[in-house]
Structure 1
Amino acid sequence: MRKNLPPYVAIKSGRVYFRKVWTDGGKRRERFVRLPDDIDSPEFATEYWAVRSGTSERVKPKQRDTWRELVTAYRSSAKYRKLAASTRKEYDRIMERIFEKNADKSVKTMTRAALLQVHAKYAETPRKADWYIQVVRMLLNFAIRKLGWKIENAASGIDLYGKQREFEPWPAWMVKKLDTAPERVRSAAELILGTGQRPQAAILMRRDQFQGEWMTVTDEKSDEAYEVFCPAQLRAYIESLPVSGAYVIGKNLTQPSGYDTVEKAFRQWRKSLGDRAAPYSLHGLRKLAIVRLAEAGCSDAQIQAITNQSPEMVAYYRRRASRKILSRAGHSLTERTGGEQ
């Protein structure tokens, strides 16, 4: 038998093992994990340290309370079977989305911050955003009440958008007040207005996305990146900011400020403007970008190329702009003619 074996290594019947010892419920437990027989080989060293450090898949504890277990249990329940076909279809769509990235993760890894981020990401489709939160909340309640899992419901207490009108474009007076906003709020507003992106995508923009007259923007829903012209006002604003890291709105040298941080600062600033500012959100700036482009005479195709908005959304806000343009033109004509018939 070889002497001076590495710590925790044992040889049984001529085979090499890693001996794991632990205490469970006051009882001593042990497990032998097979290792390559050639102790001097690179393969042995690699596997030995993987087992010892706990990174080897063979010794990682089996994840418990996973989304896979939860969704499977819920789909087997009488409650699920009693759902209307349309409701079940909507639930299934969202549960499949959860499955894509989280099937074998513990439900405990789902944080409130992550849920708020998803909710904000789909704010332009409030019903879709609310469905996601409601289904996650329902699943976690099912886990707590029916399965007896010792977890917290991260979706509990998250305010839903509910039934509402489309986001209102900001009025001119509120845009002018941006000079009084905290820098991160002003920067977010300039990025949203200048790029036409959703607030979260704009807030996460890196400095290297701006290259002279061009910038690379991202559509969060499709995860599509594309290059568009960068307006002079936005270029000038970006150039005026001190470089403090990789991101335009940075948390530190290498990380961006999150949407929640910026949105919280925005709400505090909005409150300082009084009640008349209450109806407006960061998402309304993206709508204002469409209105401005329409008022400037851009075609629907040009507006879509800049903002990547749907044709329906562009048409909706173009009508808002068209009414303003036509009413202004009408009054101007009346003033020129003196109201003569």
Structure 2
Amino acid sequence: MVELPRYVHAKRRRGGLELSFQKFRGTANAWPRVKLPGNPLSQEFVRKVSLCARLEANKKGEDWSWQFVDIMDRRHDLPAPQPDPEAFWKAVERADAVGLELSAGVRKTFSALIAEFKASAAYQLNIDENGNSRPGLADSTRDQYERNLDDIEEAWGSDPVADLTPVDVQKAIDAFRDTPSAGRVFRSVLSRLCSWGIPRGYGTSNPVEHTETSENAGTYDPWTPAAFEHFFQHARIGLHLPVYSGLFTGQRLSDVIDMRRPREGVTEMPLIAQKTGELVPVQIHSEYRAIIQAQNSDHVMLHLREDGEPWTYYGFKTAWQREMNRPEFEIFRKNRWVFHGTRKNAVNNLLEVGCSEARVAAIVNMSPAMVHHYSKKVSQFRLARAAMEQFEEGWAKLRPSVLGTVKIVGKE
């Protein structure tokens, strides 16, 4: 039998020879097997074995993550080799091709651009001089970028970035007509990617700037009183406090999950906003403090699961989505009541009680322009109520000139 390369193992099956690549076989650190072609003399086998030398596999809990290190020493995330080895090898070949393109410095494709962007400080975690991590993108934003970058690579991966036209982009955006918020995010990610590539030689202009998107894209409705009542009646208890935190502080989910339990007597919970990297002086409302104290916990983190362990961002998102998919929350899906809507509740509440737009922006860490956008509707309702109060007060004098001597129905 032909001598097999290192880490390649053979098993005889009824259908022939089964070959696989597996590091550290027979140890506690053994990798999952990577399926190889059955003919060890074929060119395909030789190529795939050479590519296996650039694989990396890491275990976290019960799950494995896979990466391919290309010729430029850039890492590309891969799907698991099982149960779909074809998709796995397709991703490996694509990652290898991107590395070769970058090495040659030629075609400047979307695949190459995405690889460079993911390896940059704009995308990856940054570590400051004190050893503290500062993300180029917040966890929640990176999650959105991952999904949309995959879609962009699937659509235009082998195409030069400079060849993309506004017509191409608009067609892609229009495909999101039934999910306008997803279309808004897709457009934003593509625009950021194209802009990032301009000074790096991938193009001379951003075609996304010449496209349009739905006016209502990305809008979320604030929760109604009935929504809050329904949620606290039907949702699992571990999700309750984060919703209260969203309502009383107006922070994004990624920042809510990172909140630490405030010490007794303090009036604020300082945190570093993931999206902006800025220090936010989160103020503690008296009723919010009472809700926190009712939790009766001394854990350093504020938001805990039912088992007393702190939520992670992705763990909370998974639990939230599972909860929202239950039949009891069909009304939430129908009315677009999502966690981010509590942020709009917080802004509206502050505006309703007369806070200035500058004060609201400081409390909820939102741009003044966005607060002004929210304030238009709140001001409309406030003016409408004031107008009705004034109408009621002046109606007695105005009525004769409008209705004359007409009697009120049911009265003499």
Deviations 1:87-136 (CA, angstroms, capped at 9, x unpaired) = 9988865553577459xxxxxxxxxxxxxxx89723xxxxx975542224
Q: In the TM superposition, what are the counterparts of 1:56-75 in structure 2 within 5 Å? A: 65-66=68-69, 68=74, 70=95, 72-73=99-100, 75=102
Q: Which residue of the partner structure matches residue 236 of structure 2? A: 182
Deviations 1:211-249 (CA, angstroms, capped at 9, x unpaired) = 532222331112333333211111010011131733332
* 1:166 maps to 2:219: yes
* 1:207 maps to 2:257: no
Q: In the TM superposition, what are the counterparts of 1:119-198 in structure 2 within 5 Å? A: 121-122=140-141, 130-136=144-150, 161-163=182-184, 164-180=217-233, 181-198=235-252
The whole-number CA distance in structure 1 between the counterparts of 2:319 and 2:8 is 49
* Aligned CA-pair RMSD: 4.2
The whole-number CA distance in structure 2 between the counterparts of 1:244 and 1:264 is 28
The whole-number CA distance in structure 2 between the counterparts of 1:228 and 1:72 is 45
Greater mean alpha carbon deviation, residues 300-309 or residues 238-247: 238-247
Q: Which residue of the partner structure matches residue 228 of structure 1? A: 282
Counterpart pick for 2:331 among 275, 284, 289: 275
8 Å contact 1:130–1:161 — kept in the other structure?
no
* 1:245 maps to 2:299: yes
8 Å contact 2:352–2:382 — kept in the other structure?
yes
8 Å contact 1:170–1:288 — kept in the other structure?
yes
TM-score normalised by L of structure 1: 0.59
The whole-number CA distance in structure 2 between the counterparts of 1:129 and 1:340 is 61
Residue 63 of structure 1 and its aligned partner are, at CA, apart by 6.1
Q: Which amino acid aligns with 1:275?
A: I
The whole-number CA distance in structure 1 between the counterparts of 2:103 and 2:156 is 12
Q: Which amino acid aligns with 2:266?
A: G
Residue 25 of structure 1 and its aligned partner are, at CA, apart by 5.6
Structure 2 stretches lacking a partner, 5+ long: 10-28, 30-52, 57-67, 76-94, 127-136, 158-178, 185-216, 399-412
Counterpart pick for 1:325 among 382, 402, 409: 382
8 Å contact 1:130–1:162 — kept in the other structure?
no
Deviations 1:47-70 (CA, angstroms, capped at 9, x unpaired) = xxxxxxx9xxxxxx9765127164
Q: Which residue of the partner structure matches residue 96 of structure 1? A: 120
SS of the residue 1:217 aligns to: strand
SS of the residue 2:182 aligns to: coil
The whole-number CA distance in structure 2 between the counterparts of 1:80 and 1:190 is 51
Q: Which amino acid aligns with 1:220?
A: Q
Q: Which residue of the partner structure matches residue 295 of structure 1? A: 352
The whole-number CA distance in structure 2 between the counterparts of 1:90 and 1:315 is 35
SS of the residue 1:216 aligns to: strand
Q: Which residue of the partner structure matches residue 366 of structure 2? A: 309
- Relative CO higher for 1 or 2, CA cutoff 8 Å, sep ≥ 6? 1
SS of the residue 1:215 aligns to: strand
Identity %: 20
> Structure 1 residues 90, 188: CA separation in 2 closer, same or farther (over 3 Å shift)?
same
Greater mean alpha carbon deviation, residues 69-78 or residues 279-288: 69-78
Greater mean alpha carbon deviation, residues 295-304 or residues 207-216: 207-216
SS of the residue 1:293 aligns to: helix
